[in-house]
């Protein structure tokens, strides 16, 4: 059992680090700060695993949105396919949004996990790293069936998602030469 303690503590410390990067209500922020203190007090067990974290949010200086990431993908597919890719991303992101809202309203943890898991990939593809971090937190909260945490994270995630959708629609309108 003690052999499992160090990896489990490292996992918990990483989750707490992710939560600390999210704009949370005051009470949740206090709890996260307390958890950070407990992880730090745990010593080497609560430190980052050797070699660093492999999560997408490991760099605290990474911007919430990096348009260059999306531009690189659009350059790879070329102008002929850019419009179709932007429309597909918009459709898939809208589906993830609808799935998360539906799952929150029905307290469907499995549905939330699926929708948020899709959002992790889609947000990362689009360069929306702040949204990707929040989606990762939603996946973890759904796995724990923690609808209090989901309710705390959802407003910020939806705000970033709506901003991303607006950006994608704008790009799509300009890539096709027509107004949306």
Q: Could you state, in order of their start, the residue ranges of all structural domains in the chain?
A: 1-51, 64-180
Predicted pLDDT at 50: 36
Rounded to two decimals, what is the model's pTM? 0.67
- Residue 116 reports pLDDT greater than 90: yes
Q: Which CATH class is domain 64-180?
A: mainly alpha
Predicted pLDDT at 179: 42
Predicted pLDDT at 94: 98
Query: For 48-66, what is the mean pLDDT?
Result: 51
Predicted pLDDT at 17: 72
Q: State the alpha helices, DSSP H only, in the chain.
A: 2-20, 26-41, 67-77, 79-106, 109-126, 129-143, 147-176
Is there a contact between 87 and 172 (Cβ–Cβ < 8 Å)? Answer: yes
Q: Is 172 exposed, middle or buried (0-12, 13-18, 19+ CB in 10 A)?
A: buried
Predicted pLDDT at 152: 94
- Residue 33 reports pLDDT greater than 80: no
Lowest mean pLDDT of 7-21, 123-137, 164-178, name the range. Answer: 7-21
Predicted pLDDT at 180: 40
Model confidence over 137-155: pLDDT tens digits?
999 999 999 999 999 999 9
Average pLDDT, the chain: 81
The alpha carbon of residue 69 and the mean position of all alpha carbons in its chain are separated, in whole angstroms, by 16
Nearest Cα residue to 110 out of 139, 137, 131: 139
């Amino acid at each position: 059992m003690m052999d499992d303690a160090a990896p489990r503590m490292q996992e918990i410390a990483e989750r707490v680090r992710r939560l600390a990067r999210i704009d949370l209500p005051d009470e949740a922020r206090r709890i996260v700060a307390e958890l950070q203190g407990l992880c730090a007090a745990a010593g080497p067990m609560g430190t980052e695993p050797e070699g660093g974290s492999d999560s997408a949010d490991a760099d605290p200086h990474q911007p919430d949105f990096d348009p260059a990431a999306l531009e690189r993908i659009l350059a790879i597919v070329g102008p002929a396919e850019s419009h179709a890719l932007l429309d597909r991303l918009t459709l898939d992101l809208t589906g993830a949004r609808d799935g998360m809202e539906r799952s929150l309203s029905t307290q469907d943890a499995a549905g939330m996990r699926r929708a948020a898991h899709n959002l992790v990939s889609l947000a990362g593809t689009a360069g929306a790293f702040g949204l990707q971090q929040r989606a990762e937190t939603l996946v973890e909260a759904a796995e724990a069936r923690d609808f209090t945490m989901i309710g705390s994270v959802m407003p910020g995630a939806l705000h970033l998602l709506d901003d991303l959708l607006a950006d994608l629609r704008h790009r799509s309108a300009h890539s096709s030469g027509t107004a949306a």
